[in-house]
Amino acid sequence: MVENLDLKRLPINEAIEKIVDQANLDGYINEENETVNVITASRNEKREEKLNTIIETVLEKKAVQYVRNTEEVKQEAKENNVSPGRMLIIKRAIAIDQTLNLKMHLSSI
């Protein structure tokens, strides 16, 4: 989806807006899929926090619900040898259906 967007030299907030707009046009964000998982990673914690703040501002402006990774999610993902994005999805599924658990999801990977 992103490879066809010209994002070079754009300020990060404008680039994120273009990505969100394209995701809407392509049907990735709609009434059925209204939540966006936001995963950022950087060795520089200040840079990562700044990027998260910019992303949250854009998503709120676009009225898109989002779930942001946290240090807890990152650590849990690392302990279970999965990506933070996958861990967010697993945690969301468990929140929706309490009959599920982390072991069930990890054994299916």
Domain boundaries, the chain: 8-68, 71-109
- The yes-or-no verdict on residue 9 having pLDDT over 90 is yes
Do the Cβ atoms of 34 and 4 come closer than 8 Å? no
Most trustworthy range by pLDDT among 7-16, 54-63, 86-95: 7-16
pLDDT for 31 equals: 65
What percentage of the chain carries pLDDT values higher than 90? Answer: 6
Average pLDDT, whole number, for the chain? 80
Instruction: List, in sequence order, every beta strand (DSSP E) within 44-105.
Output: 65-68
Rounded mean pLDDT, 73-92: 83
Comparison of pLDDT for 66 and 28, the residue scoring more = 28
Rounded mean pLDDT, 8-25: 88
Its pTM surpasses 0.85: no
**Sign of the Cα pseudo-torsion (12, 17, 20, 21, in order):** negative
Rounded mean pLDDT, 22-27: 84
Q: How far apart are the first and last CA of the chain?
A: 25
